[in-house]
């Protein structure tokens, strides 16, 4: 499963990939993935766990015979989700951000869905046999741990921080690295701050619920004045209930559109950062080799020069793949953000209009009730 | 969309001395509509035919304000009499009348003096049992009215007296500084020298007024609205000259509380008649009120609690033929607890909304930053627009938090304290009863003493004994009248209070709903403005 033949093509339509269901058994989440076969109208449905996704990602990393593999911006896989109990919620929020919220893992499933779609539409990755198998094999890839990827998650060791700021030889890439640094930081921040807003909205909904319930305790039928007062309290309770539902809806809209979008953007910027870092590391390797070659003793020089040429070739392949990837990424991310922003605005607008309508009805009803 | 920040009581001048103004609300454009909408009536639908989604005018909303200096009378100053149901709720027509209890001479709730006072809550329960009780003295000014006459009065002048508290100004410096407030009255009542007049008062003056009213025999049994609470922390900040939003908020909160306090006072038929109240409104310089420490806030409550403890310890119970008083007191106590709980819930709501303001502001900044590093120009522009939208929403949340607070939280807090004042009345009645009991006991002793003297045949001391008896007989009958009077007053006051409370709450809920609706409409506009920006991204 590690060798990817250049002729392999994905047998399902990338746009049809959906995660339709998720079930939880103890600590393990199982996702149902459906897609449409390309050459027939048949649908395929498979069941996968997070381990399977992780295996897929590793398979991408460890492909052989893909020139300039390191220049690919790999679609980011969300962190592993684990069931939320109160003790783990803070941790989950920290690790998963928006994806931890929402009902029944909806956002998380959406994120996994994007991941698969991005992989399936990627010019190189779609040819990876592992992807086709992942999407169509009824058997799960199992706990196979093939070759470990040639690179793991970017760790922030001090030495690597130093490497990250290594000056580039190419303006295009230097600019891109600068831009990426800024965007990655800003989008991460924006995502976190939106998450704060959503948490506060949820708290507000709870407070409204509490208030609304307390108002019910004011019901007292002792005499006419008490009855009148009770009616007023119950009416207020209804209103506060409406306020509560509004907050819930607003929070859920934020979550499922802009929140998801910012989260995706932020993780993609990280993915780009990793790619750029890999290239920078290769650059540093090349420069180091060049220096060694210059200093090499004559009897070793030929070997070194051959080695240097190989590294040069690798580097230039990576750079050219990277360039294409960057251009592709720049084009698509704007579209992705655009559609999230529009979706968000439309949903919030609808919710706001509905809510205004509801308040208006309450107001009319209230005034009518008392305008005797 | 420029949201102008105006104080709820209209004077923009206020912003001068207080730093940032925390206000509820409306835009400039809404104010004209509001000025006319002083009456919270059901036909306030001057939507002016505009579509709520595109129209420039939104519905008039919350605590209205007058933008011009001249007119400072807010909606709240004008109590609207709703068409009151003349029910006899609460006055059970009972029947076993012990002469000493059940003193239900029915004093109507409509005191019509020749001066044509203003009726606030129209006459309720005028048809109470008019049992004849000996020795009761009817106040000369009280006349029992027929339903028709009462209704006729109601339809008369609605706004006989409006009062507003505005323009807080800091006088002096350092720790001796204090806030002075403008108290403006507008009235058609002949008992005042002018139709409109203004005085300046400081906080201790308001407390002093409360002190005077609580001590009056003529107001025994009346529910005296409690004065607003003292706050050492709040005032110190102001004195020290801290010009930040929290001290501005404090001043506004206090100003609004003082206004509500005065409005409740003048809404009370008996209190309005009181010379001290009139003096407070009219007189240019008031002598400094002293000893107001004990009478505000915690001090007052302590007094009330002490009194009720003392009363509870007494094993004397009023021998009542119906348990109206007992059960009503229980109701009042229960309700006080409920309202406290509600107040805590609203408080939490207000705090969370403020949290939402700040997290929205922070998010807005982060989006602005994202927009500034974004190279795609359309996306960058959209993100900047988004940051602005979020800023506007922060303002909306802020306004709504103020509505939550001033409309709901303060209402609940006021009523918790008012219910405390109601309990006070019950206690006053209890004390009057005790005084009557003690006098009766003393009278009995005097009679026994006389009998002993007769038996012992000591004629020289007999005259003294007879004098004593006469003295105590007249005291007993005076105290009986007092008790009847206070019983009647308390009953009447409680009914009036309950009606007022229901009406007050209704009014406030309408206001609250209007504020919610107003905010919501604004929000819709924000989103509508942003949508084309989002779609323009290419």
Range with the poorest average pLDDT among A24-38, A269-283, B8-22, B368-382: B8-22
Residue range B525-538: mean pLDDT, rounded: 91
Shortest Cα–Cα distance, A362 to chain B (Å): 8
Which 59-88 residues of chain B touch chain A by CB within 8 A? 82-83, 85, 87
Residue B388, token pair as written in the block: 């602005």
Q: Tell me the C-alpha distance between B68 and A332, whole Å.
A: 55
Contact B527 A215 (CB under 8 A): no
pLDDT at res. B120: 34
Which of B325, B428, B423, B433 minimizes the C-alpha distance to B91? B325
Torsional class of A102: left (φ above 0), alpha (ψ -120 to 50), beta (otherwise): left
Candidates B124, B128, B367, partner chain A, best to mutate (most A CBs within 10 A): B367
- Residues of chain B contacting residue A370, judged by C-beta atoms under 8 Å apart: 42, 82, 506
pLDDT at res. B306: 60
Contact A197 B363 (CB under 8 A): yes
Average pLDDT of the residues of chain B:
72
pLDDT at res. B73: 40
What are B204-256's pLDDT values in tens digits?
899 989 988 888 878 888 899 999 888 777 777 777 766 677 778 888 889 99
What are B426-464's pLDDT values in tens digits?
988 888 888 999 999 999 998 888 888 888 877 788 888
C-alpha to C-alpha distances, B380 to A107, A184, A269, A334, B537, nearest whole angstrom: 26, 15, 16, 10, 9
pLDDT at res. B98: 36
pLDDT at res. B29: 40
For B369, name the nearest residue in chain A, comparing CA atoms only: A186
Q: Which strands sit side by side in the sheet containing B178-187, from one edge to the other?
A: B161-171, B178-187, B196-202
Shortest Cα–Cα distance, A252 to chain B (Å): 15
Long-range contacts of B49-56 (CB under 8 A, 24+ apart): B52/A356, B52/A360, B52/B521, B52/B524, B53/A353, B53/B521, B53/B524, B53/B525, B53/B528, B56/B29
What are B408-433's pLDDT values in tens digits?
999 999 999 999 999 988 988 888 88
C-alpha to C-alpha distances, A65 to A61, A306, A325, A327, B192, nearest whole angstrom: 12, 20, 18, 23, 101
| Contact (Cβ atoms closer than 8 angstroms) between residue B276 and residue B213 | yes
pLDDT at res. B315: 47
Q: How many residues does chain B have?
A: 538
More confident residue, B385 or B96: B385
- Residues of chain A contacting residue B496, judged by C-beta atoms under 8 Å apart: none
What is the reported pTM? 0.75
Residue range B508-529: mean pLDDT, rounded: 94
Reading chain A (372 residues) residue by residue, the pLDDT tens digits are 444 444 567 888 888 999 999 888 888 889 999 999 888 888 899 999 999 999 999 999 988 888 889 999 999 999 888 766 656 677 777 778 888 887 778 889 999 999 999 999 999 999 888 899 899 888 877 666 555 555 554 444 566 777 878 888 899 999 999 999 999 999 999 999 999 999 999 999 999 999 999 998 877 777 777 888 888 899 999 999 999 999 999 999 999 999 999 999 999 999 999 999 999 999 999 999 999 888 888 888 888 889 999 999 999 999 999 999 999 999 999 999 999 999 999 999 999 999 999 999 999 998 888 764
- Residues of chain A contacting residue B345, judged by C-beta atoms under 8 Å apart: 207, 210-211, 214
Residue B21 has pLDDT above 90, yes or no: no
The pLDDT confidence band at residue B307, using thresholds 50, 70 and 90, is: low
What are B28-78's pLDDT values in tens digits?
444 333 333 343 333 333 333 333 333 333 333 333 333 333 333 433 333
For A226, name the nearest residue in chain B, comparing CA atoms only: B498
Residue B349 has pLDDT above 60, yes or no: yes
pLDDT at res. B132: 37
Residue B532 has pLDDT above 70, yes or no: yes
- Residues of chain B contacting residue A360, judged by C-beta atoms under 8 Å apart: 52, 517
What are B121-130's pLDDT values in tens digits?
333 333 333 3
Shortest Cα–Cα distance, A332 to chain B (Å): 11
């Amino acid at each position: 499963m590690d060798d990817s033949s250049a002729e392999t093509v994905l047998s399902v339509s990338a746009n049809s990939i959906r995660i339709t269901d998720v079930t939880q058994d103890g600590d393990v989440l199982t996702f149902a993935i459906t897609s449409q076969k390309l050459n027939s109208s048949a649908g395929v449905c498979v069941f996968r766990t997070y381990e399977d996704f992780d295996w897929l990602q590793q398979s991408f990393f460890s492909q052989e015979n893909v020139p300039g593999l390191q220049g690919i911006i790999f679609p980011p896989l969300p962190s592993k989700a684990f069931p939320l109990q109160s003790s783990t919620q803070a941790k989950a929020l920290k690790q998963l951000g928006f994806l931890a919220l929402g009902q029944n893992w909806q956002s998380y499933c959406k994120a996994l869905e994007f991941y698969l779609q991005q992989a399936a539409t990627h010019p190189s990755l779609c040819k990876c046999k592992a992807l086709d198998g992942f999407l169509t094999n009824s058997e799960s890839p199992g706990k196979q741990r093939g070759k470990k990827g040639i690179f793991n998650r970017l760790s922030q060791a001090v030495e690597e921080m130093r490497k990250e700021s290594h000056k580039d030889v190419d303006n295009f890439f230097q600019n891109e690295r600068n831009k990426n640094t800024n965007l990655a930081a800003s989008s991460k921040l924006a995502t976190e701050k939106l998450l704060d807003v959503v948490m506060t909205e949820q708290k507000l909904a709870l407070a409204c619920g509490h208030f609304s319930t307390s108002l019910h305790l004011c019901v007292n039928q002792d005499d006419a004045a008490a009855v009148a007062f009770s009616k007023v309290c119950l009416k207020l309770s209804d209103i506060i209930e409406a306020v509560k539902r509004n907050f819930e809806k607003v929070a859920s809209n934020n979550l499922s559109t802009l929140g998801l979008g910012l989260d995706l953007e932020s993780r993609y910027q990280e993915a780009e950062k990793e790619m750029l870092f890999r290239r920078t590391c290769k650059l540093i390797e090349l420069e180091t080799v060049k220096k060694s070659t210059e200093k090499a003793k004559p009897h070793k020089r030929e070997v070194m020069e051959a080695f240097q040429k190989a590294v040069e070739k690798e580097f230039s392949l990576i750079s050219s793949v990277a360039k294409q990837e960057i251009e592709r990424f720049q084009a698509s991310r704007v579209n992705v953000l655009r559609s999230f922003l529009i979706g968000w605005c439309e949903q919030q607008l609808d919710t706001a209009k509905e809510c205004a309508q509801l308040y208006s009805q309450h107001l009319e009803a209230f005034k009518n009730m008392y305008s005797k | 969309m420029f949201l102008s920040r105006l104080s709820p009581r209209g004077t923009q001048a206020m912003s001068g001395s207080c730093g940032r103004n925390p206000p509820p609300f409306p835009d400039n454009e809404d104010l004209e509509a509001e000025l006319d909408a002083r009456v919270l009536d059901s036909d306030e639908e001057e939507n002016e035919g505009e579509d709520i989604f595109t129209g420039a005018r939104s519905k008039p909303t919350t605590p209205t304000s007058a933008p011009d200096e001249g007119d400072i009378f807010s909606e709240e100053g004008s109590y609207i009499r709703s068409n009151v149901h003349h029910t006899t709720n609460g006055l059970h027509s009972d029947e076993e009348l012990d002469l000493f209890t059940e003193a239900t001479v029915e004093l109507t709730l409509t005191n019509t003096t020749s001066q044509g006072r203003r009726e606030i809550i129209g006459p309720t329960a005028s048809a109470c049992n008019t049992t004849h009780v000996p020795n009761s003295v009817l106040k000369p000014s009280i006349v029992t009215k027929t339903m028709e006459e009462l209704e006729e009065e109601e339809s008369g002048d609605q706004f006989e007296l409006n009062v507003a508290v505005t323009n807080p100004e800091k006088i002096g410096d350092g720790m001796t500084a204090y806030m002075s407030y403008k108290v403006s009255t507008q009235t058609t009542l002949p008992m005042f020298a002018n139709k409109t007049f203004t005085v300046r008062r400081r906080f201790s003056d308001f407390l002093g007024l409360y002190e005077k009213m609580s001590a009056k025999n003529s107001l025994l049994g009346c529910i005296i609205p409690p004065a607003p609470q003292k706050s050492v922390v709040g005032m110190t900040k102001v004195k020290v000259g801290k010009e930040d939003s929290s001290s501005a908020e404090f001043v506004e909160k206090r100003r609004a509380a003082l206004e509500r306090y005065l409005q409740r006072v003048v809404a009370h038929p008996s209190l309005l008649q009181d010379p001290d109240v009139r003096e407070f409104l009219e007189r240019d310089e008031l002598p400094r009120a002293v000893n107001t420490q004990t009478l505000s806030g915690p001090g007052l409550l302590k007094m009330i609690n002490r009194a009720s403890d003392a009363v509870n310890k007494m094993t004397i119970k009023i021998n009542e033929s119906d348990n109206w008083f007992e059960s009503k007191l229980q109701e009042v106590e229960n309700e006080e607890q409920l309202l406290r709980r509600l107040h805590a819930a609203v408080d939490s709501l207000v705090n969370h909304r403020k949290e939402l303001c700040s997290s929205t502001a922070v998010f807005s900044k982060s989006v602005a930053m994202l927009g500034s590093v974004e190279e795609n120009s359309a996306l960058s522009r959209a993100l900047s627009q988004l940051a602005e939208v979020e800023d506007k929403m922060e303002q909306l949340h802020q306004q709504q938090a103020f509505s939550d607070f001033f409309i709901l939280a303060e209402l609940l807090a006021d009523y918790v304290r008012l219910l405390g004042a109601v309990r006070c009345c019950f206690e006053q009645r209890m004390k009057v009863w005790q005084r009557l009991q003690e006098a009766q006991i003393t009278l009995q002793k005097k009679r026994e003493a006389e009998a002993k003297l007769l038996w012992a045949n000591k004629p020289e001391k007999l005259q003294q004994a007879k004098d004593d008896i006469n003295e105590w007989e007249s005291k007993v009958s005076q105290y009986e009248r007092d008790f009847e009077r206070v019983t009647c007053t308390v009953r009447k006051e409680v009914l009036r209070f309950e009606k007022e409370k229901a009406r007050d709450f209704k009014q406030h809920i309408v206001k609250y709903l209007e504020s919610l609706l107003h905010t919501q409409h604004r929000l819709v506009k924000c989103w509508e403005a942003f949508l084309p920006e989002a779609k323009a991204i290419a």
